[in-house]
Amino acid sequence: MAPNSVPVFYEPGLPPPTLPLLLCQTTVSIVYPLPTITASQDIPVLSEKANGKRVERAARRASPYPTPPVRTRTVSFISSPTDGAESDTSDLTHLFDELDSRASTEPPHASTSTAAERTTDAICKPGGEVGRPGRGGYNLKKAMIGWRERELKALKDYVYELIDANLDKTKSMQSQNERCRQVVRDSASARFPRLDRYANCWPVNDIMLMRLKNTSRTARIAQEKIDAAIALEEAKAAKAKASVAKAVRNS
């Protein structure tokens, strides 16, 4: 079959119609939005090489608004006349003299000065619990620096006498009346003035704590023994009573 000849000035006709396709048979490419730059962002610009490396510098922010001018304030010091300065100095001197005279004529309150001295020179309580040096506590004898052994023993004996006279030895330190505890502290401070140097008289509180801890535990153990003995006697009496009733029924 001979091929068809094409004329030299051939003009093609319309393209063939597009065939309809389903969406599932087509390939849809996702076009991501291009990055945008706002006027307030800094654009890094490559500058000349420094020591063989490129150095980036931040470009100036492009803003459509004009830059407001910078306002500066000037402060000028005006010297006052010599006469006015002398008068102000004399008034201040007169005021200071008046205050000094008032302070000298009015004596300070005795209790205020005593409280200030106590606050300044007060010896704070060590951390932890007394009588437990191996468990984060401390030893009272080592904590009371400057006290001789006989002085500390005399203090303990006197506090023991005050406990016997004013407190309930069957109760713990927390269960005691605060007024009674304050009586013990005041009496001990009156006998031993050195206790005023300790904040809230904590050595006396520690002695009371240890003493009442031992006495209340001893009293509790003794009461438990008494209760156990009473319960045993009641059990024996009930058993004897039951045996007698049983013997009466059998007879």
- String of DSSP letters for 202-229: HHHHHHHHHHHHHHHHHHHHHHHHHHHH
Number of H-type helices and E-type strands within the chain: 6, 2
Residue 158 lies in domain: 133-244
- Tell me the two tokens of residue 159: 């506090």
Kind and range of the H or E element at 155?
A: helix 149-166
Sign of CA dihedral 42, 48, 51, 52: positive
Distance from C-alpha of 186 to C-alpha of 202, rounded to nearest angstrom? 12
Q: Which structure tokens are listed for 178?
A: 């605060």
Is 123 a domain residue? no
Q: Which two three-digit tokens encode residue 208?
A: 């009371």
| 40 is a domain residue | no
Per-residue pLDDT at 59: 46
CA distance 199 to 202: 6
Is 151 inside a domain boundary? yes
pTM for this predicted structure = 0.48
**Domain assignment of residue 141, yes or no:** yes
Q: How many domains does the chain have?
A: 1
| 162 lies in some domain | yes
pLDDT tens digits in sequence order for the chain, 251 residues long: 456 777 777 777 777 787 777 766 666 655 555 566 565 555 555 555 545 555 445 445 555 666 666 666 655 544 444 444 444 556 656 665 666 666 555 454 444 444 444 445 688 888 888 888 877 888 888 888 888 999 999 999 999 999 999 999 999 898 999 999 999 999 999 999 999 999 889 999 999 999 999 999 999 999 899 999 999 999 988 888 888 888 888 87
Distance CA 153, CA 207 (A): 11
- Residue 127 within a domain: no
Judge whether 214 lies within some domain: yes
Contact in structure between 130 and 206 (CB atoms under 8 Å)? yes
Between CA 160 and CA 180 the distance in angstroms is 14
Residue 125 lies in a domain: no
Contacts 24+ apart (CB under 8 A), 151-157: 151/192, 155/188, 155/192, 155/203, 155/204, 155/207, 156/207
